[in-house]
Chain A
Amino acid sequence: MDSPFGLLAELTYRCPLACPYCSNPLNLAGYQDELTTDEWRRVLVEAGELGVLQCHLSGGEPLLRRDLVELVADAHDLGLYTNLITSALGLSRPRAEQLRAAGLDHVQISIQSDDPTVSDRIAGTPSFQRKIEAMGVVKELGWPLTMNVVLHRLNIDRVADVLELAEEVGADRVELANTQYYGWAWRNRDALLPSRAQLEAAEVVVRAARERLRDRMDVIYVLPDYYSRYPKPCMGGWASRQLTVTPNGDVLPCPAAQSLPLPRASVREDSLERIWAESPVMTAFRGTDWMPEPCRSCPRRELDFGGCRCQAFLLTGDAARTDPVCHLSPDHDLVARAVEAANADSRADDLPLVPRPHRVRRPARHPGGADRPAPGGERAG
């Protein structure tokens, strides 16, 4: 067993946006009892001791935590590389300056499209303009800027314009991530899954942009695994390189693993070190012993680790099966049928989308106390 390199700290699932592809769990109300500042501090210390080198501060919208600056400072003092993954709503100039002073290393800001109207529609709230302004502040303060864009059927045709916008705002990296179907994205899969023609056109644009921009910008393209022959090497192997702590302190190998029927492990009940080493949620699929055929005898088993356990569970009801994305999987027809439907001439143009709820209200009782939302709204900054 190796030490983990990265901690994904999901500070809150509260969010001002309502993106229908959100990877947060469907039962958002189950995560309202958020860790206090002191509990997060302990998590950061224990993560550092465990060998974690990178701390990704995410959510929900991490800026909704009033203690974000303190947590960044703590992580920085522990020698962790800190990365803020944000919608940028709440990233005012004073807040950004505080985060800079606290040692925040890198900022990733999402946009939903290059087109303000489309972006606001997908986000479920007017937000595009504020995101662009925040990107300007990030650049001015001298941070490296990553622009995150989740690609799906409703925006993938605009990928050339998205790349142009990334250039305009001076992004150092742009992450074009085809939607992965977990959480709300799983619920909305049939509406979000693009056609093969859309993907092929986008890939031509991305390849050309990489060539053109190679001295200025890193263009990262997360593959659409439903259209891949082999599954993704999810998380570099189960509980191998990364761990996630959810807003209420559950520890998981990845943010989607809350959907699996495994016993809970919580930082409120045990140390991170023991959870990483011994808890069933970490050991269940670590290594290759758990593998069924065709993975067990497959020469690629150490390359893709059998793909994604959460995807296997969502599609088949059994997390220990080969990821059905793999063309060798006995369940591959489950993926093939979804792909076929996305490409059928008879497909309806606008399938309904279920937005994730905008704001999950924080309960009145909160152990942190100081982190209470301001009267009249929960927008930070």
Chain B
Amino acid sequence: MDPTPTGTPRTGTITRPCVGVSGSGRPRLARHVRLTFCRTRQRQILQLPETVVVLNGSGAAILELCDGRHTVAEIVAELGARYRTVPDDEVRQFLTRLVARRWVELSDG
């Protein structure tokens, strides 16, 4: 095999400019991304090529709503209702980061 086992040092993370997500967009997980529950860790997990992201409660709640039906505005409202301490901006910023990494796709309207 190629000597590129996972866990080798990567400089793959680059900062992308933040293009805000519009409230009417409907986010959905990209095809190569899976949201799953890990019984061993008792946490929601995002599975990607060569990466695993262990999600916190609000992160998991946002991604569960990324089903291509809910709009960004609806997700923001839902999170606001569920977690009083999560400001709207944070939900949008979280989604913006995931869209920039192409883990979440956004369809308009």
Chain B associates with chain A: yes
Which residues does A use to contact B, with CB under 8 Å? 3, 5-6, 8, 10, 19, 21-24, 49-51, 53-54, 56, 58-60, 79, 81, 83, 85, 105-106, 108, 110, 142-144, 146, 148, 150, 172-173, 175, 177, 179-180, 182-183, 185, 210, 214, 218-223, 225, 232-236, 241-242, 244, 254-255
**Is B2's CB under 8 angstroms from A5's CB?**
no
Knowing A6-B6, A225-B9, A242-B7, the reply to whether A58 touches B1 (Cβ < 8 A) is yes
Chain B, residue nearest A86 (CB): B1
**Is A242's CB under 8 angstroms from B6's CB?**
yes
**Is B2's CB under 8 angstroms from A110's CB?**
yes
**Is B34's CB under 8 angstroms from A81's CB?**
yes
Knowing A51-B38, A150-B3, A183-B3, the reply to whether A232 touches B9 (Cβ < 8 A) is yes
Residue B84 is within 8 A (CB to CB) of chain A in the complex: no
**Is A51's CB under 8 angstroms from B9's CB?**
no
Per the CB 8 Å criterion, the residue count for chain B at the interface is: 28
Q: Write the nearest CB–CB distance from A308 to chain B, whole angstroms.
A: 10
**Is A180's CB under 8 angstroms from B6's CB?**
no
Which chain B residues border A108 with CB–CB below 8 Å?
49
Residue B98 is within 8 A (CB to CB) of chain A in the complex: no
Which chain A residues border B41 with CB–CB below 8 Å?
3, 51
Chain B, residue nearest A58 (CB): B1
**Is B1's CB under 8 angstroms from A244's CB?**
no
B1, B3, B34, B40: the one contacting A3 at CB < 8 Å is B40
Chain A, residue nearest B47 (CB): A81
Chain B, residue nearest A253 (CB): B7
Which residues does B use to contact A, with CB under 8 Å? 1-12, 14, 16, 31-32, 34, 36, 38, 40-41, 45, 47-50, 52, 102
Chain A, residue nearest B36 (CB): A79
Q: Write the nearest CB–CB distance from B41 to chain A, whole angstroms.
A: 6
Knowing A51-B40, A54-B47, A233-B9, the reply to whether A177 touches B3 (Cβ < 8 A) is yes
Q: Which 8 A-B pairs have the closest CB atoms?
A: A51-B40, A23-B3, A144-B32, A81-B47, A235-B7, A220-B12, A232-B9, A177-B4
Q: Write the nearest CB–CB distance from A240 to chain B, whole angstroms.
A: 9
**Is A56's CB under 8 angstroms from B48's CB?**
no
Report the separation of the CA atoms of residues A14 and B16 in the bound assembly, to the nearest whole angstrom. 41
**Is B9's CB under 8 angstroms from A223's CB?**
yes
Which chain A residues border B7 with CB–CB below 8 Å?
6, 234-236, 241-242, 254
Chain B, residue nearest A23 (CB): B3
A19, A81, A185, A255: the one contacting B48 at CB < 8 Å is A81
Q: Write the nearest CB–CB distance from A257 to chain B, whole angstroms.
A: 11
**Is B45's CB under 8 angstroms from A222's CB?**
no
Which chain B residues border A53 with CB–CB below 8 Å?
36, 38, 45, 47, 52
Chain A, residue nearest B49 (CB): A106
Report the separation of the CA atoms of residues A210 and B10 in the bound assembly, to the nearest whole angstrom. 13
Report the separation of the CA atoms of residues A180 and B2 in the bound assembly, to the nearest whole angstrom. 10
Q: Write the nearest CB–CB distance from A228 to chain B, whole angstroms.
A: 8
From B1, B14, B40, B48, residue with most partner A Cβ within 10 Å: B1
A10, A59, A144, A234: the one contacting B49 at CB < 8 Å is A144
Which chain B residues border A219 with CB–CB below 8 Å?
12
**Is A143's CB under 8 angstroms from B32's CB?**
yes
**Is A235's CB under 8 angstroms from B3's CB?**
no
Q: Write the nearest CB–CB distance from A166 to chain B, whole angstroms.
A: 14
Q: Write the nearest CB–CB distance from B22 to chain A, whole angstroms.
A: 17
Q: What are 5 A-B interface contacts by the 8 Å CB criterion?
A: A85-B2, A106-B49, A148-B2, A220-B12, A235-B7
Chain A, residue nearest B16 (CB): A214
**Is B5's CB under 8 angstroms from A255's CB?**
yes
Chain A, residue nearest B7 (CB): A235
A10, A143, A179, A223: the one contacting B1 at CB < 8 Å is A10
Report the separation of the CA atoms of residues A234 and B45 in the bound assembly, to the nearest whole angstrom. 23
**Is B47's CB under 8 angstroms from A221's CB?**
no
Knowing A21-B3, A53-B38, A60-B1, the reply to whether A106 touches B52 (Cβ < 8 A) is no
Chain B, residue nearest A255 (CB): B5
Report the separation of the CA atoms of residues A106 and B49 in the bound assembly, to the nearest whole angstrom. 7
